[in-house]
């Protein structure tokens, strides 16, 4: 077994043990929302595109979703405390159902978007995302070169998350690249994004390759960058561990919630 695989397996077992020990107190993970959760009408909309089981349960089929009785993932419960979530599977406008109707733009009217370990963005998605950000959108883009979560789905299954993120060309357009040191130690390290402290595991390294392309600043020990692009803002994070492991997200999901708040502040 590759040393990284052994290290990840050990790390996951430790995280699962920690999650089990704290299960009775993890109100954010078992569905009980904290008393200070925002009411539905007060929560800003947040569009979400992801291959991770953040909104729908892992491996859920069409019948499960249609039945509407599948348990919601713990991540969704955390996300929905402060946001009204709108899952997307495309970012670019699509033709309307009738020839005389305008195109359907999935990003129209939205101010916040989280793209977390996507399956891959089409050329049209890249163009639409760049235009949306430049017009004032706020984006959290999470691209993890090496996921550390355990997913009970075979390789090649379309429901399985993307194990190594596909870096969309729009990242280079904003003057950045992501590199990965596969010799790094498998361990949890803590960094900061603004006032939010959060953990990283096998994170990528964001580099600024074209300073003139965007006003970007490296943060979180180089695992993230914050950029002003046109009238909008981009937070690029090269690690998804806090979205994968409940033991890293806080007893009530407060670490994940704080990271999201920092990304969209």
Strand partners for 86: 47
* pLDDT of res. 83: 96
* pLDDT of res. 113: 98
Please give the order of strands across the beta sheet that includes 84-87: 84-87, 45-50, 112-116, 138-142, 232-237, 224-229, 215-219
What value does the mean pLDDT of the chain take? 85
- From 56-65, 80-89, 103-112, 211-220, the region with the lowest mean pLDDT: 56-65
What is the mean pLDDT of the segment spanning 126-133?
98
Q: In whole angstroms, what is the distance from residue 81 CA to residue 77 CA?
A: 6
- pLDDT above 70 for 11: no
What is the mean pLDDT of the segment spanning 205-209?
97
Q: Choose between 20 and 104: higher pLDDT.
A: 104
* pLDDT of res. 4: 56
Helices then strands, each counted (H, E), the chain: 9, 11
- pLDDT above 80 for 180: yes
* pLDDT of res. 158: 82
Query: If 0-12 CB within 10 Å is exposed, 13-18 middle and 19+ buried, where does residue 174 land?
Result: buried
- pLDDT above 60 for 194: yes
Percent of the chain with pLDDT over 90: 65
- pLDDT above 90 for 25: no
* pLDDT of res. 217: 96
What is the mean pLDDT of the segment spanning 157-162?
86
Domain boundaries defined on the chain: 3-33+43-263
- pLDDT above 60 for 65: no
What pTM was estimated for this model as a whole?
A: 0.84
User: Does the structural domain 3-33+43-263 have CATH classification 3.20.20?
Assistant: no
DSSP notation for 194-233 = TTEEEEEES--EEEES-TTTSEEEEEGGGTEEEEEETTEE
What is the mean pLDDT of the segment spanning 53-82?
78
User: What is the tens place of the pLDDT at every residue in 218-246?
Assistant: 999 999 999 999 999 999 999 999 999 99
* pLDDT of res. 24: 35
User: At 56, is the pLDDT very low, low, confident or very high (cuts 50, 70, 90)?
Assistant: confident
Q: Which residue has the tokens 């806090």?
A: 242
* pLDDT of res. 61: 58
- From 2-11, 94-103, 204-213, 237-246, the region with the lowest mean pLDDT: 2-11
- pLDDT above 80 for 172: yes
């Amino acid at each position: 077994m590759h040393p990284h695989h052994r290290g990840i397996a050990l790390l996951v077992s430790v995280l699962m043990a920690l999650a089990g020990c704290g299960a009775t107190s993890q109100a954010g993970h078992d569905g009980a929302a904290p008393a200070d959760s925002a009411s539905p009408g007060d929560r800003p909309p947040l569009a979400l595109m992801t291959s991770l089981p953040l909104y729908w349960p892992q491996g859920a089929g069409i019948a499960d979703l249609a039945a509407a009785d599948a348990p919601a993932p713990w991540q969704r419960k955390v996300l929905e405390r402060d946001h009204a979530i709108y899952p997307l599977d495309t970012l670019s406008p699509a033709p309307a159902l009738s020839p005389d109707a305008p195109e359907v733009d999935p990003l129209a009217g939205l101010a916040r978007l989280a793209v977390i370990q996507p399956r891959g963005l089409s050329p049209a998605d890249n163009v639409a995302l760049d235009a949306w950000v430049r017009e004032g959108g706020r984006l959290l883009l999470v691209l993890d070169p090496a996921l550390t979560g355990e997913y009970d789905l075979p390789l090649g299954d379309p429901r399985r998350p993307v194990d190594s993120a596909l870096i969309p060309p729009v990242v280079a357009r904003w003057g950045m690249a992501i590199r990965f040191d596969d010799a790094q130690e498998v361990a949890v390290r803590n960094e900061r994004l603004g006032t939010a402290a959060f953990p990283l595991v096998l994170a990528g390294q964001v580099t600024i390759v074209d300073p003139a392309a965007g006003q970007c600043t490296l943060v979180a020990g180089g695992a993230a960058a914050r950029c002003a692009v046109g009238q909008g803002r981009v937070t690029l994070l090269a690690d998804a561990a806090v979205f994968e492991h409940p033991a890293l997200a806080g007893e009530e999901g407060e670490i994940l919630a704080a990271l999201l708040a920092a990304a969209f502040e």
